[in-house]
Amino acid sequence: MFVRGIRGATTVERNDENEILSATTELLNQIIAENGIVPDELACVYITVTQDLTAAFPAKAIREQAGWELVPLMCSLEVPVEGSLPRCIRLMVMANTEKRQDEINHVYQKEAMRLRPDLSKLTKA
């Protein structure tokens, strides 16, 4: 068994609590669906947001999902590089799995698809 990192990112239109929580839930649900993971298989989820998102902790959306209460979560600020994608939420889901690296499905949604167009093309609709 290996610990594999599953990357995901999305964006929101506004710095709004409901929008941040909804986008985080949508992103996590797609990562789960595309990789067939369950909370008990996770080592942790590392979450970053750009500095323009201050209305909510995205981890709140994850903790509120049934079965996710014990998964270690950590929120942090993304490095504020000039010209970087605004209003962006990123997840690094660390999962225990038998899958090879090339079997992992990374998920990029909305404007975040620009971050990794090479991986976004692989993401299922």
108 is catalytic: yes
114 is catalytic: no
Question: Which among 19, 34, 41, 116 is annotated as catalytic?
Answer: 116
Question: Which among 14, 63, 64, 103 is annotated as catalytic?
Answer: 63
**How many Cβ atoms from other residues are within 10 Å of residue 51's Cβ?**
11
Question: Which among 17, 41, 46, 75 is annotated as catalytic?
Answer: 75
14 is catalytic: no
Question: Which among 90, 100, 103, 111 is annotated as catalytic?
Answer: 90
Q: State how far the Cα of 52 lies from the Cα of 106, in Å rounded to an integer.
A: 24
90 is catalytic: yes
Question: Which among 4, 78, 87, 88 is annotated as catalytic?
Answer: 78
100 is catalytic: no
Contacts 24+ apart (CB under 8 A), 19-22: 20/49, 20/53, 20/55, 20/56, 20/58, 20/61, 20/89, 21/56, 21/58, 21/60, 21/61, 22/61
88 is catalytic: no
Torsion of CA 95, 63, 110, 34, to 10 degrees: 40
75 is catalytic: yes
Q: Which residues are catalytic?
A: 7, 63, 75, 78, 90, 108, 116
